Amino acid sequence: MRLFLSCCSLLALGLAAPLPAQEAPIPPPPIAAVQALPGEPGVTIIHAGTLLDRPGRPPRRNASILIRDGRIESVVDGFVEPPAGARLVDLRDRFVLPGLIDSHVHLTSDRAGNEGFMAGFTDSVALRSYEAAWNARKTLDAGFTTVRNLGSDDGITLGLRDAIGRGWAIGPRIVDAGSAISATSGHADPTLGVRDEFHDDLLAGGTTCDGAEDCRRAVRRQIARGVDVIKIATTGGVNSRIGLGLGAQMFEDEARALIETAHLYGRRVAVHAHGADGINLALRLGADSIEHGTLLDDESLRLFRQTRAYYVPTLSTVNGYVERLRANPEAYSGEVRRKIEWRIRVTGQSLRRAVPAGVRIAFGTDAGVSLHGRNADEFLLMVRHGMTPMTAIEAATVNAADLLGLSSEVGTIEPGKAADIVAVRGDPLADIGVLRSMSFVMSRGRVHRNEP
Ligand SMILES: [Zn+2]
């Protein structure tokens, strides 16, 4: 009844004329349109000593960036005088680059293992929302001005995404997947390790699906919540509290239904996959990115090249595991511990194969398993396992922007894009580690951090 009334009242106002028969259907909105957020009002000039405005091309020396209302208006050589009333930001002693992008985070918490599992039962949604906001702030502090959140229950990060967009909370731009989806017993099954009496309540979130029809429904459920991207798991997970291994755990018709339904609505699909069987299944069906990709084989490399899907290595998980186990050897339950020990042993092997094979790589940490605010640690691991500092920075800027569908908004410092700009002391092209000490962070034209 309400829909009927609002439709008729719009018609009466002349705002919703019926479409002519030959009119083309309205295409799904590109993600960038949803994510074009308002910027800080006013004019700012940045004087950059070294400027890597387009990662992949050599940096320039002594340049000025003009920013108006949170958007980059021009980039010119030399240090120009700020116009009357403009702010001047002096970064002549620093290395300036585009705001960094982490394609795989879980902002809600980084209390993983048994502690994180318990927090899911003891902490209220309200408390967990504040924890997510705190983690978002730490992420922005570290120079990450955009993140893709790949799985959060209770709609916490969907709410946080909108709160940040409205200026009610401080944090990076969030591209959000809502809840991750897997088959029953899979990586997104919330009942694993929980006694049977609680299962009905936990399954009400609709994060599992079995059979093609049910998997279409599961994706549509996330679409209806307003998600930007769909996250699915075709294989088991390291942190899943079950000893089922890390191979494929989904039939082709289920994976196909998930991916095709997401694409029907113009949403990309991020696929959690460790074993080559589940990786190749997803790539053959049109996955947009493979997350973790721990065991790539020759066929995976061929499919990556053929489909141009991105590989998101998430090597930082190993830091989270090692640090947590060092602090508490009982941090993980037995079946999880065995998978973690394996993952630590094989980390980086796939990246070492993917780099020379020409696979497109986007930066992603899986922060939440590792600590929020330590996202830049991933750069060291990427360089240790076969990338150059420049290609690692490209992965966290140009490539990640492309993967997220935000190339017209972020990823380079060019006219028309959001003024998401960061700076460090030292030269990250010579020593990638300097990116771990961010000294300046601007988000949509607003200076969030500037260390003297
Ligand atoms: Zn993850």
Rounded Cα distance, 25 and 79, in Å = 49
Report the separation in Å between the CA atom of 367 and the middle of ligand 1, taken as the mean of its atom positions.
8
Report the separation in Å between the CA atom of 182 and the middle of ligand 1, taken as the mean of its atom positions.
13
Report the separation in Å between the CA atom of 157 and the middle of ligand 1, taken as the mean of its atom positions.
14
pLDDT at 29: 67
Report the separation in Å between the CA atom of 317 and the middle of ligand 1, taken as the mean of its atom positions.
9
Report the separation in Å between the CA atom of 102 and the middle of ligand 1, taken as the mean of its atom positions.
12
Residue 142 in 3-state DSSP? coil
Rounded Cα distance, 195 and 175, in Å = 33
Percentage, residues of the chain above pLDDT 70: 92
Task: Kindly give, in sequence order, each residue whose CB lies less than 8 Å from that of residue 9, ignoring residues fewer than 6 positions away.
Answer: none
Report the separation in Å between the CA atom of 74 and the middle of ligand 1, taken as the mean of its atom positions.
37
Residue 116 dihedral angles phi and psi, to the nearest 5°: -65, -40
Report the separation in Å between the CA atom of 352 and the middle of ligand 1, taken as the mean of its atom positions.
21
Report the separation in Å between the CA atom of 147 and the middle of ligand 1, taken as the mean of its atom positions.
12
pLDDT at 19: 53
Report the separation in Å between the CA atom of 87 and the middle of ligand 1, taken as the mean of its atom positions.
40
Rounded Cα distance, 75 and 193, in Å = 55
CB 67 within 8 A of CB 46: yes
* Count of alpha carbons within 13 angstroms of residue 359, beta-carbon side: 32
What pLDDT, in 10s, does the model give residues 427-438?
999 999 999 999
Report the separation in Å between the CA atom of 92 and the middle of ligand 1, taken as the mean of its atom positions.
38
Q: Which residues pair with 96 in a beta bridge?
A: 51, 423
Task: Kindly give, in sequence order, each residue whose CB lies less than 8 Å from that of residue 24, ignoring residues fewer than 6 positions away.
Answer: none
**Whole-model pTM?**
0.93
Is pLDDT of 16 > 90?
no
Report the separation in Å between the CA atom of 272 and the middle of ligand 1, taken as the mean of its atom positions.
7
Is pLDDT of 10 > 70?
no
What pLDDT, in 10s, does the model give residues 42-62?
999 999 999 999 999 999 999
Is pLDDT of 406 > 60?
yes
Report the separation in Å between the CA atom of 109 and the middle of ligand 1, taken as the mean of its atom positions.
12
Report the separation in Å between the CA atom of 151 and the middle of ligand 1, taken as the mean of its atom positions.
7
Report the separation in Å between the CA atom of 365 and the middle of ligand 1, taken as the mean of its atom positions.
8
What pLDDT, in 10s, does the model give residues 73-106?
999 999 999 999 999 999 999 999 999 999 999 9
pLDDT at 153: 82
pLDDT at 112: 86
Report the separation in Å between the CA atom of 180 and the middle of ligand 1, taken as the mean of its atom positions.
9
What pLDDT, in 10s, does the model give residues 114-142?
998 999 899 999 999 999 999 999 999 99
Report the separation in Å between the CA atom of 366 and the middle of ligand 1, taken as the mean of its atom positions.
5
What pLDDT, in 10s, does the model give residues 249-278?
999 999 999 999 999 999 999 999 999 999
